[in-house]
Amino acid sequence: MTDDPPLADAVDDTAADIATMEIRGAATIAAAAADALAAQARETEAEGPAAFRRAMRHAGRRLYDTRPTAVSLPNALRYTLGRMEGDDVEALRESVLAATTAFTDRLGRAQRDLGRVGANRLRDGDTVMTHCHSTDALSCVEHAVEQGKEVSAIVKETRPRNQGHITASELRDLGVDVTLIVDSAARRYLDEADHVLVGADSIAADGGVVNKIGTSGLAVNARERGVPIMVAAQTIKLHPDTLTGHTVEIEMRDETEVIDTETREGIGEVEVHNPAFDVTPPRYVDAIVTESGQFPPESIVTLMRELFGESADRPWEEPERESADAAGAPAE
Ligand code: RUB
């Protein structure tokens, strides 16, 4: 085994911030990963092209290992590391920097474009119910407001980490009237909502939507109440591995997010589970809004094939041949 090449501080810091959720939300995670890879490209003191590529792959693996559910992270790595090319270190460096810049621009553009599509679904005077904090979902409201529509929001607080507070604050900045509710009040307030509007961490090939825990229960209740469910998700949320039958790994987080140790000990011996995400089956979703237009969930697979083909590469992994060479294995 060889030692992995050193990582730029920005890579270690970003990975730690993603793991502890200082950096959170799928699109924000992707943008931070691209920035970290750019820092790695700038700072890598590789002597040759092979060493440079190894350093970039190591940075990719460090970032990849942080949170398993948000596919935007591996898709960001695919986009940037997949465009790494050149015969010398400087050419490789330039290619990564160009790719990270293009990726970040694309993220911003996609969010604005899907926001315009989502805004067209909202009418003047509508009320949306939100869950968690999604920059893609908020872009739809922002564009509706820009179109001169008055929009109100019922915001679920979203236990255990209360990302609804961030949503409430950002909606207030847009001038939207906000009513904050506890999660368990959602069904009661659905009668006052015209849309459920959520984001996504990953979208599976069958149109299943992986998003913050509680989204699926909200969607089932909304369907029962006749409230349409809109998912705002730029195409970086499409999970290419699901094309070949893989399932999306649901992240389980620390129990201390749910209950502090003292309170827990006061209760007695209990198990505490803290799944971060759940899967909403496609039959409960009315529309997935992307930068390429809106799709019924069942047809998202067409877009996924167009964008990723049939297979998803993993450019952060060591190619078998190269790692064997580096480990001193005899050449064939
Ligand atoms: C965030 C979450 C968001 C999606 C989409 O979960 O579920 O709805 O990530 O966000 P967490 P965006 O707080 O655990 O990261 O639209 O900003 O990509």
Maximum pairwise Cα distance, the chain? 71
Q: So what's the pLDDT on residue 331? A: 33
DSSP symbol at 238: B
The phi and psi torsions of 67 (rounded to 5 degrees) equal -135, 125
| CB-based contacts of 247, cutoff 8 Å, min separation 6 | 204
Which residues does the annotation mark as catalytic? Answer: 132, 201
Q: So what's the pLDDT on residue 2? A: 57
Quick one: tokens of 141?
């409201």
| CB-based contacts of 330, cutoff 8 Å, min separation 6 | none
Residues counted in the chain: 332
Q: Hey, which residues does 202 pair with through a beta bridge?
A: 210
Ligand 1 contact via 62 beta carbon (within 6 Å) = no
Ligand 1 contact via 202 beta carbon (within 6 Å) = no
Ligand 1 contact via 136 beta carbon (within 6 Å) = yes
Q: So what's the pLDDT on residue 309? A: 82
Q: Are 155 and 130 in contact (CB under 8 A)?
A: yes
Q: So what's the pLDDT on residue 322? A: 54
Q: So what's the pLDDT on residue 312? A: 81
CB atoms closer than 10 angstroms to residue 30: 26
Whole-number Å distance between alpha carbons of 101 and 8: 18
Q: Are strands 209-212 and 195-198 parallel, antiparallel or unpaired?
A: unpaired
Residue 20 CA to ligand 1 centre (angstroms): 14
Whole-number Å distance between alpha carbons of 241 and 327: 29
DSSP symbol at 116: H
Ligand 1 contact via 276 beta carbon (within 6 Å) = yes
Whole-number Å distance between alpha carbons of 97 and 120: 35
Whole-number Å distance between alpha carbons of 231 and 200: 7
Residue 150 CA to ligand 1 centre (angstroms): 25
Strands (E), the chain: 127-130, 152-156, 177-181, 195-198, 202-203, 209-212, 229-232, 277-280, 287-290, 293-295
Q: Are 181 and 155 in contact (CB under 8 A)?
A: yes
Ligand 1 contact via 134 beta carbon (within 6 Å) = yes
Task: Give the pLDDT means over successive 10-residue stretches in the chain (332 positions).
Answer: 85 98 97 98 96 97 94 96 97 98 97 98 98 98 98 98 98 98 98 98 97 98 98 97 93 97 96 98 98 97 90 87 47 30
Q: Whose CA is nearest to atom 10 of ligand 1?
A: 134
Sign (positive/negative) of CA torsion 306, 309, 310, 316? negative
Ligand 1 atom at minimal distance to the Cα of residue 72: 18
Ligand 1 atom at minimal distance to the Cα of residue 251: 14
Residue 107 CA to ligand 1 centre (angstroms): 14
Ligand 1 contact via 24 beta carbon (within 6 Å) = yes
Q: So what's the pLDDT on residue 9? A: 97
Ligand 1 contact via 131 beta carbon (within 6 Å) = no
Report CA-CA distances (Å) from 70 to 74, 76, 209, 301: 8, 11, 11, 18
Residue 266 CA to ligand 1 centre (angstroms): 33
Report CA-CA distances (Å) from 98 to 58, 103, 168, 332: 19, 9, 36, 36
Residue 93 CA to ligand 1 centre (angstroms): 31
